[in-house]
Structure 1
Amino acid sequence: MSGDDVIEAVFEAVAAATPEIRESLVGRRRYEAGENPSGEQQLEADVYADQLFEERLLALDGVASYASEEREGIVRADGTSADADSTKGKTRAGSGGDGGDGDYHLALDPLDGSSNVKPNNVMGTIVGVYDEPLPAGGDALVAAGYVLYGPLTTMVTARDGRVTESVVHGGERHAATADLALPDDPTVYGFGGRVPDWTDEFAAYAREVERELKLRYGGAMIGDVSQVLTYGGIFAYPGLTTHPNGKLRLLFEGLPIAAIVETAGGASTDGERSLLERTPEELHERTPVFVGNREYVERAESALSE
């Protein structure tokens, strides 16, 4: 299969799994006994979604490995597993350094915002397609996408310099917006983290933004980013006094979302530089995340540097 065919097959497989993901939420709202590698309690729905995507995606020709926010290490297509440290410094995919027979490596957040299952609020799935062994950086991210489980199921993908929004019905994608772009006139913002834990610099920036934009924050990054892509504005989960590196994962959340927003004409930053310039040192490395219209992202960088 060509690279384009593999990427398309990945997005088709994710879309095909969406009816099962939605149906699986019924009866899987309880917490598991364990935690994920980030120290967060897992819902039964998290574990189910992770196992389903692992099975479906590793079965695709051209996919060499799978990693997710819900598991410690990496699973290869040949059924073996590895921790992230064992893949660092390997050659580019397809050159024998990945331990699998494919050229692409997938990093997923199977259920972003899964804490919203209990109150029946919005959540999603995030997909990053890399052409280097994980953990890989923004220069190795060749495609990204997310599914939003809202009143409708929608899927947004970024590849080949274009962002496409589709409605997913019966596991199939139906293109709704072929060349999605951020509006030039920003309208909304959503900021994560407890306000008492914000730094003074970010709190001052937030006070400026709240005088200009409307608050839209739902507790799932996917829902908040979708608001920004639809109406323009900014989403941020900053570094906090309690968590200086933020709480979002660079590989599973920051890089794919940055790629989508930047491809749609927006910008991203970790407070100092584009997220796509970053390469995680660890599989579950955290990062501050700011994405949205360039004006607001640049103003955030300026505010945080004061």
Structure 2
Amino acid sequence: MTAYEPGGDAVDRIVDSIAETATAVRDGLASDRTAKVGTNPSGERQEAADVRADELFEEALLAHEGVGTYASEERQELVDGGSGEYHIALDPLDGSSNLRSNNAMGTVFGIYDAPLPAKGRDLVTAGFVLYGPITTMVVARDGVVADYLIEGETPERLADDVTLPEDPDIYGFGGFVPDWPDDFTAFAREIEQELKLRYGGAMIADINQLLTYGGIFAYPGLESNPNGKLRLQFEGNPIAFVFEAAGGASSDGTQSMLDIEPEGFHQRCPLHVGNTELIERLEASLE
């Protein structure tokens, strides 16, 4: 069983389009490096690269008969694609603020078989593309995670059955530290004595390191914003789906991310993913 087979069934062909479009997104990054165009529906800075990536993915994905709707972090509303059974949620360019400093970025995607907004349990496939020194794609499906190199016309499988290492090595926690709740701060102080800090400002780069080395990533709820920063449909659910398929765990602080009842397209949520033992310790530490 593989997570994704190029040219396979309808879901695989949707992933084919994501991989192909990611190449076009990557190739256009240099020309979009310093352009800012406004803010997205979540009130965050929107780069020209965000808009361009969103437009490229929309065109490619809505061309599939199997796609019913397309939703993006860069759009207020979803786009109707027809009567297809699959519904796509994307963060077209995660970490686009890193473009100016030439640090890693990514694309996060979730393919749901229920109308959006949907629960994480409605995902059939999820994953991400990492625009790093090389461009890679992680795909999770049917409890299997695999890693692919995006170079040339067809993605090349680098690793089958990707699982979190049993011995965790790194951690990365987001948010303004003085704004962390006291219970999370206490947990973070413990983790600092056990693991090495790796945090680069683009969630996908941090997540990919975590899959490689094991540990824990968190963007917690904050004192000023208990719902945190990350969006459930576009980031929380897909990343949780990948980590649970890789033998790890996810949590919003009390439950699996995949069990959260959605309330809207741009709903925010705390996100914690990593080795199961660390996530269980985190949940026990939060009041």
**Shorter-chain TM band:** over 0.9
> Which residue of 44, 50, 55 corresponds with 1:51?
55
Q: What's the CA shift for 1:59?
A: 0.2
> Does residue 286 of the first structure (1) align with residue 260 of the second (2)?
no
Aligned positions of 1:85-234 closer than 5 A: 100-234=82-216
Q: What's the CA shift for 1:47?
A: 0.1
Q: Which runs of 5+ in 1 are unaligned?
A: 78-99
Q: What's the CA shift for 1:140?
A: 1.0
Task: Give the AA of the match of 2:242.
Answer: I
Number of aligned residues: 280
Contact 1:153 1:169 in 2 (8 A): yes
Change (3 A) 1:171 1:198: farther
Partner of 1:85: none
Partner of 1:248: 230
TM-score normalised to structure 2 length: 0.96
SS at 2:239 equivalent: helix
SS at 1:10 equivalent: helix
TM-score normalised to structure 1 length: 0.90
> Which residue of 64, 68, 78 corresponds with 2:72?
68
Change (3 A) 1:171 1:286: farther
Tell me how far apart the structure 1 counterparts of residues 23 and 159 of structure 2 sit (CA, whole Å).
21
Q: What's the CA shift for 1:171?
A: 4.6
Task: Give the AA of the match of 2:99.
Answer: V
Tell me how far apart the structure 2 counterparts of residues 240 and 250 of structure 1 sit (CA, whole Å).
16
Task: Give the AA of the match of 1:56.
Answer: A
Partner of 2:16: 12
Tell me how far apart the structure 2 counterparts of residues 14 and 33 of structure 1 sit (CA, whole Å).
24
Change (3 A) 1:71 1:282: same
Q: What's the CA shift for 1:296?
A: 0.7
Task: Give the AA of the match of 2:205.
Answer: G
> Does residue 296 of the first structure (1) align with residue 287 of the second (2)?
no
Contact 2:135 2:151 in 1 (8 A): yes
Q: What's the CA shift for 1:139?
A: 1.9
Partner of 1:81: none
Describe the superposition over 1:190-217 as per-residue Cα deviations: whole angstroms up to 9, x where unpaired: 0000111111111100000010000000
Q: CA RMSD in A?
A: 1.0
Q: After the TM superposition, list the runs of 4 or more consecutive aligned residues in structure 1 that deviate by more than 6 angstroms.
A: none
Contact 1:18 1:171 in 2 (8 A): no
SS at 1:127 equivalent: strand
Task: Give the AA of the match of 1:61.
Answer: E
Partner of 2:40: 36
SS at 2:111 equivalent: strand
Contact 1:22 1:149 in 2 (8 A): yes
Contact 1:19 1:171 in 2 (8 A): no
Contact 1:15 1:171 in 2 (8 A): no
Q: What's the CA shift for 1:6?
A: 1.6
Task: Give the AA of the match of 2:172.
Answer: G
Tell me how far apart the structure 2 counterparts of residues 43 and 172 of structure 1 sit (CA, whole Å).
29
Q: What's the CA shift for 1:279?
A: 2.5
Contact 2:37 2:48 in 1 (8 A): no
Q: What's the CA shift for 1:18?
A: 2.0
SS at 1:151 equivalent: coil
Contact 2:23 2:150 in 1 (8 A): no
Q: Which runs of 5+ in 2 are unaligned?
A: 1-7
Tell me how far apart the structure 2 counterparts of residues 171 and 74 of structure 1 sit (CA, whole Å).
29
Partner of 1:24: 28
SS at 2:84 equivalent: coil
Larger mean Cα displacement after TM superposition, 29-38 or 151-160: 29-38
Contact 2:38 2:47 in 1 (8 A): no
